[in-house]
């Protein structure tokens, strides 16, 4: 990761999470080659024949992004450092729905088909033809708490239905409470926690199913 990218990441973390959490993230990044320990929560949404609302926050329009939309791709890559120079490849086996306020991208949901690499678990997973995975959902800070994340999700659900997808997966760290609450708000159901540990070159993953009362 280049110095410029690191600086952008630090600035974004400070803006999104504040000094305390950003400091913790920074320490984790410094020591990640030696030791890592995190818990990642996986959630699932059954799409089937349900109809979803087409929510549109004031002034925001939505568009599925293609590889020909080079300016839009640059904006999206600048919003999430890990996507730098990777988005066109991901779009070749998935799609991205972006939210625009004028020419500016203010949010997006990136979706993968066939295969997904979950970086927080250092794990590659094959998907069945009727399944897809939410690679990334991002909403600019100024546009949060106005329903934009839910609007993105619902429109992605509808797009996935058109493509014959029945089950939509995703996940977040258990410490990322806002992201998990946002997913549950639109009907995702948490199904498993995966604890990932790494000490030097030795990795370990342990899975724990989340049981729901009445099921």
CB of 187 closer than 8 Å to CB of 44 = no
> What tens digit of pLDDT does each residue of 159-212 get?
999 999 999 999 999 999 999 999 999 999 999 999 999 999 899 999 999 987
pLDDT, mean of residues 54-72: 94
Distance (Å, whole) CA 168 – CA 188: 9
What is the token pair recorded at 129?
């033809």
C-alpha dist (Å) from residue 198 to 28, 52, 193, 195: 12, 40, 16, 10
Distance (Å, whole) CA 70 – CA 62: 17
Distance (Å, whole) CA 157 – CA 155: 5
CA atoms within 13 A on the CB side of 200: 0
Domain ranges in the chain are 1-31, 32-209
pTM above 0.75, yes or no: yes
CATH number corresponding to 32-209: 3.40.630.30
Which range (64-73, 77-86, 128-137) has the least confidence? Answer: 77-86
User: Helices 177-185 and 148-162 sit at what angle, rounded to 10 degrees?
Assistant: 50
The reported pLDDT for the residue numbered 21 is 55
Binning the chain into helix, strand and coil, the percentages to the nearest 5 are: 35, 35, 30
Distance (Å, whole) CA 94 – CA 117: 13
Q: What percent of the chain has pLDDT over 70?
A: 84
Q: Is the pLDDT of residue 9 over 70?
A: no
> What tens digit of pLDDT does each residue of 116-165 get?
999 999 999 999 999 999 999 999 999 999 999 999 999 999 999 999 99
């Amino acid at each position: 990761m280049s110095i410029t990218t690191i600086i952008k990441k630090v600035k974004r973390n400070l803006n999104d999470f504040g000094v305390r959490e950003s400091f913790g993230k920074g320490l984790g990044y410094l020591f990640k080659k030696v030791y890592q320990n995190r818990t990642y929560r996986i959630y699932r949404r059954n799409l089937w024949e349900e109809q979803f609302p087409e929510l549109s926050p004031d002034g925001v329009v939505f568009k599925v992004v293609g590889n020909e939309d080079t300016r839009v791709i640059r904006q999206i890559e600048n919003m999430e450092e890990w996507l730098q120079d990777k988005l066109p490849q991901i779009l070749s086996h998935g799609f991205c729905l972006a939210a625009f306020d004028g020419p500016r991208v203010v949010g997006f949901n990136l979706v993968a088909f066939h295969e997904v690499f979950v970086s927080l678990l250092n794990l590659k997973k094959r998907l069945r033809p009727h399944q897809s995975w939410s690679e990334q959902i991002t909403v600019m800070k100024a546009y949060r708490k106005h329903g934009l994340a839910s609007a993105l999700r619902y429109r992605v659900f509808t797009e996935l239905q058109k493509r014959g997808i029945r089950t939509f997966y995703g996940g977040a760290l258990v410490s990322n409470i806002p992201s998990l609450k946002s997913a549950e708000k639109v009907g995702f159901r948490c199904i498993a926690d995966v604890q990932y540990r790494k000490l030097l070159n030795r990795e370990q993953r342990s899975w724990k199913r989340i049981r729901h009362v009445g099921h």
